[in-house]
Structure 1
Amino acid sequence: MTTAPAIELRSYTDLDAVRGDLLDVYAEVRAPLLHLANYAVSSFGERLDRHGAEDGFQAVLAYEGEHPVGYAYGNRIEHGDRYWQRTDPTPSEEYMERPAVALKEIGVRPAWRGVGIARRIHDAFLAHREEPYVTLMVNEAAGDGKVHAIYRSWGYQDLGSSQPSPASPCLTVMIRPTA
């Protein structure tokens, strides 16, 4: 698409209401990687179910009509959360002394990329968050480094690295203020 389509953003705090749409979009977004255990739809579904049951869960989906074209989801993390425990080096107390929001996934179907939908979803996800910081993890190889560069352009800074599971690649942990 070369022009911005008419997109409606919808926010959810109940995973059951959007689980199917999240799985559908994920499968297309990650299609080239689905053969890898960490990226398989079943692995994503397990992570999604776990995250959806955690405090502060929120998902924002972008729809063109009733067709989901993109999403972001995350949840609140506290001091001592496994997210922080796996980050190396250990983040400073400044970032962990109050709850933060972890943006666990963001993705846009290929046909809707390049028109600002990911940024709109991201900003809608953060619009009503009360946590002072948002953090995410990125595979620096994603998009030949373009994804990492996009997050930097959105104000994120590298904080450390993490390997969330044995099947996961080593990821760069990034952070920025929510506002």
Structure 2
Amino acid sequence: MKTNSGLDLRHCGHAHATAIRELLLDVHDEVYEGTDDPLAPREAFARFVDSWSGKEDFACVVAYDREQPVGYAYGAPLTPVTTWWKRVVPSLSAEFTAETGARTFALSELMVRAPWRGTGASRLIHDELLRARIENRVTLLVHVDHVKVRALYESWGYEAVGEVVPTFLGAPTLCAMVLAR
């Protein structure tokens, strides 16, 4: 889909996982270069890419500007057996955390390369990924210390519902956020 901004937004799914894997990793490497994020190393992030893209309902949008990758967003719906909400503090009600496979879309990654930051590209990618989704809410996790990123998501309508520390070594404290649709 070509946008007014001139970006070409391309939808990918589980069937495209192998074809887009290196692109996702290359963009990640550039975005996280020089950071001390525990997922900055390519091998560490590759495990997450493989896990998410291995889901049958994996959805991804990659943006291009004249065939140059700009950035991407991806995720998948939470299933009834998800542990997504289990470690959130304060604890959330059973009613809030009950998943059906069609209730909540988990936005795992949204990243944009430096030349396109501040251009609205991240919002375009985000909105295109969610445009045809059937879920009635979206959730994401963002580093508690990334105040500007949290504020950006809040300006898009996301609300913080708690904090969580993932189980992998060196994991930072993350803010769990939800967008009602």
Fold similarity call, TM over 0.5: yes
- Amino acid of the residue matched to residue 64 of structure 1? D
Deviation above 4 Å: which 4+ runs of structure 1?
Answer: none
SS of the residue corresponding to residue 166 of structure 1 reads coil
1:14-53 aligned at under 5 Å gives the runs 14-33=16-35, 35-53=36-54
Instruction: Kindly indicate whether the alpha-carbon contact (under 8 Å) linking 2:29 and 2:40 is maintained by their aligned counterparts in 1.
Output: no
Alpha-carbon distance, 1:5 to partner: 5.6
Q: Which has the higher helix share?
A: 1
Q: How many residues align?
A: 172
1:43-122 aligned at under 5 Å gives the runs 43-92=44-93, 93-99=95-101, 100-122=104-126
Aligned to 1:11: 11
Residue range with higher mean Cα deviation, 147-156 or 125-134 = 125-134
- Amino acid of the residue matched to residue 84 of structure 1? W
Q: Deviations over 1:84-129 (max 9, x none)?
A: 2222233331353433111001010011100100000000010111
SS of the residue corresponding to residue 84 of structure 1 reads coil
RMSD: 1.7
Instruction: Kindly indicate whether the alpha-carbon contact (under 8 Å) linking 1:71 and 1:107 is maintained by their aligned counterparts in 2.
Output: yes
What are structure 2's unaligned runs of at least 5 residues?
Answer: none
Aligned to 2:137: 133
Alpha-carbon distance, 1:157 to partner: 0.3
Instruction: Kindly indicate whether the alpha-carbon contact (under 8 Å) linking 1:140 and 1:147 is maintained by their aligned counterparts in 2.
Output: no
TM-score, structure 2 normalization: 0.88
What is the aligned-residue identity percentage? 37
- Amino acid of the residue matched to residue 161 of structure 1? E
What are structure 1's unaligned runs of at least 5 residues?
Answer: none
Alpha-carbon distance, 1:139 to partner: 0.6
CA distance in 1, matches of 2:38, 2:159: 28
CA distance in 2, matches of 1:120, 1:37: 27
Instruction: Kindly indicate whether the alpha-carbon contact (under 8 Å) linking 2:10 and 2:61 is maintained by their aligned counterparts in 1.
Output: yes
Instruction: Kindly indicate whether the alpha-carbon contact (under 8 Å) linking 1:71 and 1:121 is maintained by their aligned counterparts in 2.
Output: yes
CA distance in 1, matches of 2:9, 2:173: 31
Aligned to 1:169: 172
CA distance in 1, matches of 2:46, 2:109: 12
